[in-house]
Amino acid sequence: MSNATRSPLPSVDHPDVAARLREALLAASFTADGLLDLLGAPAYAALARSETVPALRATRGDTPLETLVRLFLLQQPVPYARVQEVLPVHACVETGWLTRAGADDIAATVDVRPFGGPDGEDWFIVSDLGCAVGGAGGIGSSAEGVVLGVGGASTTLAGITVRTPVSAALDLGTGSGIQALHAARHATRVTATDLNPRALHITALTLALSGAPAADLREGSLFEPVRDDETFDLIVSNPPFVISPRARLTYRDGGMGGDDLCRSLVQGAGERLNVGGFAQFLANWQHVEGEDWQDRLRSWVPRGCDAWIVQREVQDITQYAELWLRDAGDHQGDPAEYRARYDAWLDEFEARKVKAVGFGWITLRRTASDEPTITLEEWPHPVEQPLGATVRAHFERVDYLRGHDDAALLAAHFRLAAEVVQEQVGLPGAEDPEHVVLRQNRGMRRATKVDSIGAGFAGVCDGSLSAGRILDAIAQLVGEDPVLLRDRTPAQIRLLVEQGFLEPA
């Protein structure tokens, strides 16, 4: 599984064969649920780590499903007679999905991995041999130009993407086509681009085998294939964001200096978005000596766009270099060459005064407002995917708060968001807690400290009374001046609304 190869690809000119192949795969329960039932959870999870021994042991029988798992997922030659019982083997050989392996065996030319869509759809992700599961898995520098299957980054981006019906969606750097496949569910027209023509071919295969509409496939880097007059309602990209000394691997290395590729991608998205449209990216960014990372990212945001940027992880330069050297399998090769490449990474970072690298999510929304809002935060904690609805709600709250000054907030009615709980923190037996924490059990799973006034306010927000009326009642209860309480509380209300603890009623 770790030895990626670039075999000739199946033809995209025979959609009828792809449809027949899809029907045969479904008939044999070659689906995400079918795999889990056959392999069991441990072997299924091992596949995601590029470990195939448990799956090989679980497929020693001769059922149709075992045959397909060994053929397409484990890349084992299978006797012709067994394949013939399951698939339209002659048509699949003629169109390149399968190939003869010796006198009596058949082998797959591509990886085909079942993938469950968000509404239970049965999809199939096509990728190069050895690249279907577990990311690169140390595929090595010989794999330049190969197309990977679905990894953790791909599923993260799919999960955070806002899913509303749109006219036009753009998937930049489509790879194996997973983002285009998701977009096809809610976009009238999907355009997918990639610098690698092999990726475009594989995306066409993924869409056809998954029973999805064809996309408009265009070759080129970043926004080059997009016409000047084209705009979109949704732009997504899991770009080759790795900051490396030179572009060795197309699927991951940006090929520009430092984090310039991610910066160019973000800066170029604004003018290609329709008002109200979203652009969502995964990205790496440099932490440069003497510079605040938030200032760096704020400078990337194009004019006319609101932005929400979440830093999920930070690695020092040694951790970062080791991660991606291992990704390419360099640690398994010549030790002297490994040390030389490691040195090259550190030399590059030293020259740029980079001390660490951040990873996270960048979401832009084109706004008609004269005062766009940029929110940057560090949130390394667990979240609940999918987050598309959470992302959309964030920008709805941005609009709400932008249109409500403090007086309007006090006149407004609020409701405590669902599944928010209160925790009191303090010494055992103490009469009063040291502080109160409100915690979300959904979405971003945020936690925020509030004072007793804020906790009491949030607790009685059920939409029936205005914020000002609630504060007046609290002031009378605790013996505070209601005017002073009204003056100092709107900032706390604004924060609770911004973070999703309170919702406008």
Domain ranges for the chain:
15-109, 122-134+143-387, 404-504
Of residues 395, 447, 451, 385, the one with CA closest to residue 421: 447
**Residue bearing tokens 């130009």:** 145
Q: Which residues pair with 79 in a beta bridge?
A: 105
Which tokens is 406 given? 């403090």
Token pair belonging to 242:
């790795």
Q: What is the helix (H) or strand (E) element at residue 344, kind and residue range? A: helix 335-351
Amino acid identity, position 363: T
CATH of domain 122-134+143-387: 3.40.50.150
Q: How far is CA 354 from its chain centroid?
A: 25
Q: Is the pTM of this model over 0.75?
A: yes
The span from the CA of 502 to the CA of 439, in Å, is 12
| Contact (CB, 8 A) for 207 and 184 | yes
Percent of the chain with pLDDT over 70: 95
Give the per-residue pLDDT at 5: 67
**Any bridge partners for residue 374, and if so which?**
307
Average pLDDT over residues 482-496: 96
What pLDDT sits at residue 257? 79
pLDDT above 50 (res 109): yes
Predicted pLDDT at 425: 85
CA contacts within 13 A on the Cβ side of 36: 7
Q: What mean pLDDT is predicted for residues 149-166?
A: 95
Which structure tokens are listed for 357?
């690298």
Question: Locate tokens 């058949």: which residue?
Answer: 106
CATH fold of 404-504, please?
Arc Repressor Mutant, subunit A (1.10.10)
Rounded CA Rg of the chain: 26
Predicted confidence (pLDDT) at residue 138 exceeds the cutoff of 70: no
Q: What pLDDT is attached to residue 435? A: 85
- 431: Cα separation from own chain's centroid: 46
- Residue 1 pLDDT > 70, yes or no? no
Helix intervals (H) in 111-218 = 152-160, 178-183, 197-209
Residue type, 355: K
User: Per-residue DSSP letters for 27-62?
Assistant: HTT-SHHHHHHHH-HHHHHHHHTT--HHHHHHT-S-
CA distance linking residue 294 with residue 310, whole number of Å: 10
Residue predicted with more confidence, 504 or 248: 504
Question: What pLDDT, in 10s, does the model give residues 333-388?
Answer: 889 999 999 999 999 999 999 999 999 999 999 999 999 999 999 999 999 999 99
Residue 372 per-residue DSSP state: -
CA-to-CA distance for 396 and 177, rounded, in angstroms? 29
Give the mean model confidence (pLDDT) for residues 424-445. Answer: 88
pLDDT of residue 348: 93
State the Cα–Cα distance between residues 16 and 406, nearest whole angstrom: 62
Per DSSP bridges, beta strands 462-466 and 78-79 are: unpaired
Q: What is the mean pLDDT of the chain?
A: 93
On the CB side of 264, CA atoms within 13 Å amount to 16
E strand spans, 244-344: 273-288, 305-316
> Quick one: pLDDT band at residue 328, thresholds 50, 70, 90?
confident
Write out the H or E segment, with its range, that includes residue 438.
strand 435-440
